[in-house]
Amino acid sequence: MSAHELIRVVAFAASAICMGLGAVGSAVGIGIIGGKDIRGSSINPKQQGALLKTMLIAMAIASTTAIYALLVALLLLFLIGAV
């Protein structure tokens, strides 16, 4: 295996690891937010519409770190992996 191929293999593996491990934190966070929202709307069903809006924004902010991981994974895949 030449050095060029080795770099490509490592870049592909690194992008997979980056996306997989980077998604763990926001997956846990989104799960907690969804669970709390269900709890809140079952305690107070009249507030369901307002809670849904807040939940969507909170989920979007919790998924920001996973999006940074996706950015790094795409850079590895298409800049280093495609050389």
Partner 1 sequence: MNDVGLIATKTLFIPELNFKVTYNPQILLFSWVVILLIFGLGLFLIRAVKGAPSRRSALLETLYGSFSNMATEAMGADGRKFVPLVVTIFLFVLISNWLGVVPGLQSPTKDLNTCLALGFLVFVVAHTSAMRKKGLKSYLKGYFEPFFFFLPINIVGEFGKLVSHSFRLFGNIFAGAIIFALSGPVIIKTFNAIGLPTYSASPFILGALLISQAFFGLFVGTVQALVFALLALTYIAILREA
Binding site for partner 1 (CB under 8 A): 53, 56-57, 59-60, 63-64, 67-68, 70-71, 78, 82
- Is the Cβ of residue 6 or residue 56 nearer to partner 1 in the bound state? 56
Query: Which is closer to partner 1, CB of 40 or CB of 77?
Result: 77
If the CB atoms of residues 47 and 64 are measured against partner 1, the closer one turns out to be 64
For 31, how many CA atoms within 13 A lie in the half-sphere containing its CB? Answer: 6
Q: How far is the CB of 40 from partner 1 (least distance, A)?
A: 18
The least distance separating partner 1 from the CB of residue 34, rounded to whole angstroms, comes to: 12
Q: How far is residue 38's CA from residue 47's CA, in Å, rounded to a whole number?
A: 11
CB of 71 to partner 1, least distance (A): 6
How many CB atoms sit inside 10 A of residue 67's CB?
12
Crossing angle for the helix pair 64-75 and 3-43, nearest 10 degrees?
160
**Cβ–Cβ < 8 Å for 58, 34:** no
